[in-house]
């Protein structure tokens, strides 16, 4: 298969597996999505989805959030990890949203990246999922699969994002990044990976990745 045929194969399989795409982080508007994505850094979606209802019961908008102290926010979000930094970020960005944007979340990546504790990936998720603007946020699953499938060098997430945007049609970016995340979790995990269940990698995967996999498997048997 040529590179473009491999890309088409991956897209087709992902669309077959995930015609309806669940959104990993529960939210009701751009602000609650922004907070949920910020909280998910070095945590899990499951844990974040357990904590956000507790936080949003107290404050689900920037005006109510700034009425809480950083310490109060920190107490609620402690289970997701990195709570000192995240609580300051949540309080700080809420204040800025009120002062600069009348309490609204901006829909431009560059403006979002100016907010405390908001990096490129968080900003990309927000514009993609809250505003429907094409973006390709790269998480660990996407980074791993783009390498396994031979679509990127695996050098860094910046390169992976660049390659994803070059290879995939722009109108599919918002669906594809979520489909790849779900596929990575279910069929192509970092640990406990069984290539026989991973149809895409088994069919189009990077030769060296597959060779290394079978070498390790044979050594264990």
Residues marked active site are found at 121, 139
**CA angle in degrees (0–180, nearest 5) for 108-49-164:** 45
Q: What is the spatial distance between Cα 100 and Cα 151, in angstroms, rounded to a whole number?
A: 40
Residue whose tokens read 């990936």: 121
Contacts 24+ apart (CB under 8 A), 91-97: 91/65, 91/66, 92/116, 92/117, 93/34, 93/38, 93/62, 93/117, 93/118, 94/62, 94/63, 94/65, 94/66, 95/62, 95/66, 97/31, 97/62
């Amino acid at each position: 298969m040529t590179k473009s045929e491999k890309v088409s194969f991956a897209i087709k399989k992902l669309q077959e597996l995930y015609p309806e795409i669940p959104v990993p982080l529960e939210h009701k508007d751009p602000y609650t999505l922004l907070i949920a994505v910020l909280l998910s850094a070095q945590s899990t979606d499951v844990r974040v989805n357990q904590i956000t209802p507790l936080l949003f019961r107290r404050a689900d908008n920037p005006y109510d959030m700034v009425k809480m102290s950083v310490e109060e926010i920190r107490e609620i979000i402690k289970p997701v990890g990195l709570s000192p930094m995240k609580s300051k970020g949540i309080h700080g960005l809420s204040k800025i949203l009120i002062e600069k944007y009348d309490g609204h979340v901006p829909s431009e990546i560059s403006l979002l990246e100016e907010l405390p504790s908001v990096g490129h990936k968080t900003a990309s998720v927000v514009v993609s999922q809250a505003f429907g603007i094409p973006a390709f946020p790269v998480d660990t699953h996407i980074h791993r699969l783009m390498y396994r499938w031979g679509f990127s060098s695996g050098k860094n997430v910046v390169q992976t994002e660049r390659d994803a945007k070059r290879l995939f049609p722009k109108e599919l970016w918002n669906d594809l990044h979520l489909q790849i995340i779900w596929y990575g979790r279910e069929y192509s995990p970092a640990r406990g990976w069984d290539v026989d269940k991973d149809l895409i990698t088994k069919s189009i995967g990077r030769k060296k990745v597959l060779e290394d996999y079978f070498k390790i498997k044979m050594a264990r048997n």
